Chains A and B, each alone.
Chain A
Amino acid sequence: MLTKELLRVSRRGGGYHPQFVGDDAEARDLAARVLGVYQGHVGETRGDLDSALDELEAEFAFKLVRGFAKLLDRETAFETRAPLDPERTRRLVFECAESVSVATDADRREALDRAAERMRVPTDGIEQSLYADREVQQVLVNFDSRWTPETLCEQYDLSLAQTALFDATEVCVRSSDPATLVSTVKRLRLLYEIRRTDQGREVVVTGPDALFRRSRRYGTRFARLLRTVASASEWTLEATIDDRNTERTLRLDESDVSVPGVEPVTEMTFDSGVEADFAARFQSLDLDWSLVREPEPLAAGEHVVIPDFAFDWNHGEFRVFFEVMGFWTPEYVAKKLSRFGDLEDVAFLVAVDESLGVGEEVEALTDGAIPYSGTVRVKDVVDALREYEADLLTEARASLPDELRPDDDVISLADLADEHGVSEQTLDSVAFPDHEIVGRTLVRPAVLDTVAETIEAGQSLDAVESTLAGEDLSDTSAVLSRLGYRVEWEGLGGGVLKKKD
């Protein structure tokens, strides 16, 4: 984190945009020069280092120079170099000065000589030691930087964003790793609540006192939270900033800030072998549901439940949450059950290890319990999902009219279902007065007539296919069969059209 006076932020268009350096080449060169100044000042005083930095400040954006320097200071060791202990020397010198009552240069010399005599050292040593412990006099003894110009820029951007958060009064986060997010929020003694938005659930983070007044006192904790947030592979953060009594919004995501040295985990990770095994087997099937790992946190009273998986319905907005409840301590089970009891109203399935003996309780608290021992059977889960499917189909069918008259001359049922956000199956009971169903495609009779006039027996299959392609018909065999033709194959080469017998 930087200090507040080093914050670089643009308020363009009423927003609040930290001036990130990203992979700007000039900034990287500057980072390299600042690193060079530190490396070049090993053995010299803090005061000399500061003047060298001052020169860079005159040439470049001074807040950026100081920001880099601030980060490097942490890896820099200074120490006092003096022949005598400065504090002790001062005490003695001031005592001697008192007895001389120093005003002139000659008085001064006398006082110093007396002190030197008492300490049995040369007068020079006294003078060198007097204020050798002042910060500006201290010597840079070790500079052991883990940064390269690139990673220094990366760290700068993270620190800059953290600094911007100092003035935040509230932070909303969406993260691909909600479990870590929530545990960090707790560790930082902050409070969260789950808010539902059009883009999904987000975690709203505030401090206890925020209930009574908007406060920036949690700003440093929000700044620390950012490290956790930015370690996820996908995230967005939206903060309300109290910018000298004007409320502004700060928006950040993984393209702005990352944590140097931390590779965000993009592949699915699992708490247990049962979960990993289940995910692998489920994904190998071609179902109307997609598997999502640690989908989003759900509100459960004052707590939160982060389900292991969700199944997203491929033909519309519907999500079923799924938790695998393995064997654990009785306290864990009791806690889980209490959370399920408080859970917000969502579709929620739980696979319960039979040895826990709580299947009935879970059944009562959620949409359904799927007992398992050893491994969760995919078939059982698919069966449970079927029940939702039936409802989803009915619901989707209810949203469609009894007849559909698409504008296209030719359209596949799959595309039409997509357009209406339903599954292909839903269209089974819909009538298409203007079209004929050929295979799984709707075709206007006029199109079929045109094709029928163009093709004839004896044509090569290639020629026929290009004719059909001209009319957007791809299901060749279905069309040919409808028009009363078949293909006679000649060895391994192309086929020839024949009238069906």
Chain B
Amino acid sequence: MASLTYDEGTIRVDGEVSVPLPGVERDPRSESGRAPAYRYAQLRDALRPLAADVRDDVLDLVDVSELHSSYDLREYQRDALDAWEESDRRGVLELPTGSGKTVIAIGAIERLATPTLVVVPTIDLLNQWRGELEAEFDVPVGQLGGGEQRVEPVTVATYDSAYLRADELGDRFGLLVFDEVHHLGGEGYRDIARLMAAPARLGLTATFERPDGAHEAIEELVGPLVYDLEVDDLAGDHLAPYDIKRIEVSLGPEERARYDEAQGIFTDYLRESDIQLRSGSDYQELVKRSGTDPKAREALLAKQHAREIVANADAKVETLSDILDRHAEDRIIVFTAYTDLVYRLSERFLLPAITNETGTTERSQILDRFREGDYSRVVTANVLDEGVDVPDANVAVVLSGSGSQREFTQRLGRVLRPKEDGGRALLYEVVSEETSEERVAARRR
């Protein structure tokens, strides 16, 4: 008689078995056999012929047969789900944004009627998924992350929280759903899939291939790509066209003086210590040096200060005042990377603000009110990231440093919608005039 138990992220095999067991190694520490938990489905299959002689206590699942959903899946959603089921309920679906990935996952949870853990990359997605699951299944939905640690048969977790608790919760779920599954390629996050025993695994993503080849690891842990759908396949749902306006502002005389001072400290240090900044790695070297060299640290702090002066330039605030005035009838999202600037703008223009300091309740309340039209403006640090249902806006304002962040503006462009009267969406980029470092250095000499 052999027995299988779950032990902290591994499957422990006690007793002798007459068939070879995939992934099982001898563990002298416990004088037993042991395999990583993700091999459980294979192990179970290998042991099936001996069922009578094996006691399988790996999973500890709560009964959730009452999970029913009212969604009627669209044809491609059903196809995707069928393909996943045919692949032994392991695999990745590659679907473009807006194709209803959540709905497919809800379909999978309903079909399997088993406790499920949904893993998501951001707090915003955490709130969004939890809301949808609660609305759909009418059961309490657990949450791990965003200040809460509550486990229920259906639970949503951030990748970070799931990583921390994987070996403790690995026997409690029959199905794992990984939203934005490409994140699972990260070295640490792989542990989530490795240490949990759930036999069924579903990955969702818009971009499965990773340049670092980590998608191969995902294949082993979650399953192969079983279905993919191109944007063009989704008829009638295309992205809004938008225009970009770039506004350059200058520093005021007092800002200029403070900027020159700070920038001067930085460039002087570079000259004195004969450092040239040609690439990102040169800069990394400087950061490393600042850990032990107080002068390097002073220089870096000065550089940071100079950047803040540029980012916070008063002229930007004035420009925003003009834009808000011009677009009194529009729906506007204001972005800036600096949390302090978010609050300065919020206090100055009385705009609802969302940053990493904003609590979960207030955050979803602001987004809801924006969605429903109670608010028509919102200011935020760059936290409305991939995959989140950003409420429709037709004007976006990005207050950046002196350069533009192309990737970010492109992504932002995608969330913009045309106005109901057909007016094109508009994206403002407010930047500071090029502040030449050479010129500053020359003046100080």
Residues of A within 8 A of B (CB): 58, 62-63, 87, 90-91, 93-98, 101-104, 108, 111-112, 130-131, 134-135, 189, 191-193, 206-209, 211-212, 215-217, 301-302
Contacts of A212 in B (CB 8 A): 10, 25, 36
CB within 8 Å of A: which of B349-399? Answer: 349-352, 357, 362, 365, 374-377
Contacts of B273 in A (CB 8 A): none
Q: Cβ of A211 and Cβ of B10 under 8 Å apart? A: yes
Q: Cβ of B350 and Cβ of A102 under 8 Å apart? A: yes
CA distance A108 to B321 in the complex (A): 11
CA distance A93 to B375 in the complex (A): 11
Q: Which of B31, B188, B294, B350 contacts A217 (CB 8 A)?
A: B188
Q: Which residue of A lies closest to B194 (CB)?
A: A209
Q: Is the C-beta of B27 less than 8 angstroms from some C-beta in chain A? A: yes
Q: Is the C-beta of B149 less than 8 angstroms from some C-beta in chain A? A: no
CA distance A202 to B194 in the complex (A): 30
| Nearest Cβ on chain A to B268's Cβ, whole angstroms | 17
Q: Cβ of A191 and Cβ of B30 under 8 Å apart? A: yes
Q: Is the C-beta of B19 less than 8 angstroms from some C-beta in chain A? A: no
CB-CB contacts of B291-318 with A at 8 A, as 1s and 0s? Answer: 1001001100000000000000000000
Contacts of B321 in A (CB 8 A): 103-104
CA distance A95 to B343 in the complex (A): 17
| Nearest Cβ on chain B to A165's Cβ, whole angstroms | 17
Q: Cβ of A302 and Cβ of B31 under 8 Å apart? A: yes
| Nearest Cβ on chain A to B37's Cβ, whole angstroms | 9
Q: Cβ of B347 and Cβ of A208 under 8 Å apart? A: no
A-B Cβ contacts below 8 A, count: 94
Q: Which of B8, B325, B351 contacts A104 (CB 8 A)?
A: B325
| Nearest Cβ on chain B to A355's Cβ, whole angstroms | 32
Q: Cβ of A108 and Cβ of B349 under 8 Å apart? A: yes
CB-CB contacts of B201-214 with A at 8 A, as 1s and 0s? Answer: 00000000000000
Q: Is the C-beta of B89 less than 8 angstroms from some C-beta in chain A? A: no
Known: A62-B297, A103-B328, A209-B195. A97 touches B31 (CB 8 A): no
Contacts of A97 in B (CB 8 A): 349-351
Contacts of B365 in A (CB 8 A): 91
| Nearest Cβ on chain B to A144's Cβ, whole angstroms | 25
CB-CB contacts of B232-244 with A at 8 A, as 1s and 0s? Answer: 0000000000000
Q: Cβ of A94 and Cβ of B9 under 8 Å apart? A: no
Q: Which of B31, B194, B291, B298 contacts A58 (CB 8 A)?
A: B298
Q: Which of A130, A191, A207 contacts B347 (CB 8 A)?
A: A130
Known: A98-B374, A103-B324, A207-B8. A131 touches B347 (CB 8 A): yes
Given contacts A63-B291, A108-B349, A302-B31, 8 further A-B contacts (CB under 8 A): A62-B294, A98-B377, A101-B328, A102-B324, A192-B29, A193-B28, A211-B10, A302-B30
Known: A58-B298, A87-B362, A207-B8. A94 touches B27 (CB 8 A): no
Q: Is the C-beta of B191 less than 8 angstroms from some C-beta in chain A? A: yes
Q: Which of B7, B10, B291, B350 contacts A111 (CB 8 A)?
A: B350
Q: Cβ of A98 and Cβ of B376 under 8 Å apart? A: yes
CA distance A108 to B324 in the complex (A): 12
Q: Cβ of A211 and Cβ of B25 under 8 Å apart? A: yes
| Nearest Cβ on chain B to A316's Cβ, whole angstroms | 30
Known: A211-B27, A217-B188. A189 touches B349 (CB 8 A): no
CB within 8 Å of A: which of B137-179? Answer: 163, 167-168
- Interface-central residue, A94, A95, A97, A104, by most chain B CB under 10 Å: A94
| Nearest Cβ on chain B to A17's Cβ, whole angstroms | 14
Q: Cβ of A208 and Cβ of B25 under 8 Å apart? A: no
Q: Which residue of A lies closest to B297 (CB)?
A: A62
The 10 closest A-B pairs by CB, nearest first: A97-B350, A103-B325, A103-B324, A302-B31, A208-B8, A302-B30, A101-B328, A208-B10, A191-B29, A193-B29
Contacts of A93 in B (CB 8 A): 350
Q: Which residue of B lies closest to A63 (CB)?
A: B291
What are 25 residue pairs bridging A and B, where the CB atoms are less than 8 Å apart in the complex?
Answer: A58-B298, A63-B291, A94-B350, A94-B375, A95-B374, A98-B374, A102-B350, A103-B324, A103-B325, A104-B325, A108-B348, A108-B349, A131-B346, A134-B343, A134-B357, A189-B167, A191-B29, A208-B8, A208-B9, A209-B8, A209-B10, A211-B10, A211-B34, A217-B191, A301-B31
| Nearest Cβ on chain B to A115's Cβ, whole angstroms | 9
Contacts of A63 in B (CB 8 A): 291
Q: Cβ of A302 and Cβ of B328 under 8 Å apart? A: no
Q: Cβ of A206 and Cβ of B29 under 8 Å apart? A: yes
Q: Is the C-beta of B87 less than 8 angstroms from some C-beta in chain A? A: no
Q: Is the C-beta of B42 less than 8 angstroms from some C-beta in chain A? A: no
| Nearest Cβ on chain B to A485's Cβ, whole angstroms | 69
Q: Is the C-beta of B276 less than 8 angstroms from some C-beta in chain A? A: no
Contacts of A58 in B (CB 8 A): 294, 298
